[in-house]
Amino acid sequence: MKIITNSPLETFELGKKVGENIKAPISLLIEGSLGSGKTTFIRGVLSYFGYDIVRSPSFLYVYEYKIPEGKIYHLDLYRIEIEDIDKKLNLSEIMDEKSIFLVEWPFKVRNLNFPNSYEVRINVISDTKREFISDFFKFIKI
């Protein structure tokens, strides 16, 4: 399913709508070029859960957010070397049935079995316009 957003605010609102409909365990594997809106989308998801300040974990690789049902992990794997993933992230320790994973640059962890994974592809159409493609969108009302 495809959804077009016409501004960063619409991208944020799409993320918020996803937040309303996301339930653990689930993983959204978010792909897109630099500046495509991955973090803006994730900010929207986390805003639904009451988080107003969301930074990309570019240098720390993962941020953890507590929610009533468990935890949300926001991973940004852009700067991590593939061979360092297990050593630096300890993913096997944080994967459980009460977690939601929002993963930027997921191609680096294709061999890992994230729970209930859905790819979210972001294509840049123009400076402000984005195309979001995901099978997960069939579960939300836009």
Percent of the chain exceeding pLDDT 70 equals 80
Q: How far apart are CA 127 and CA 49, in angstroms?
A: 28
111 or 107: whose pLDDT is higher?
107
What's the average model confidence in pLDDT over 4-10? 98
**pLDDT confidence of 90, banded at 50, 70, 90?**
low
Model pTM? 0.89
Specify the pLDDT at position 12. 97
**pLDDT confidence of 17, banded at 50, 70, 90?**
very high
Q: How far apart are CA 2 and CA 83, in angstroms?
A: 34
Specify the pLDDT at position 78. 76
Percent of the chain exceeding pLDDT 90 equals 60
Torsion of CA 136, 94, 76, 29, to 10 degrees: -20
Q: How far apart are CA 142 and CA 87, in angstroms?
A: 40
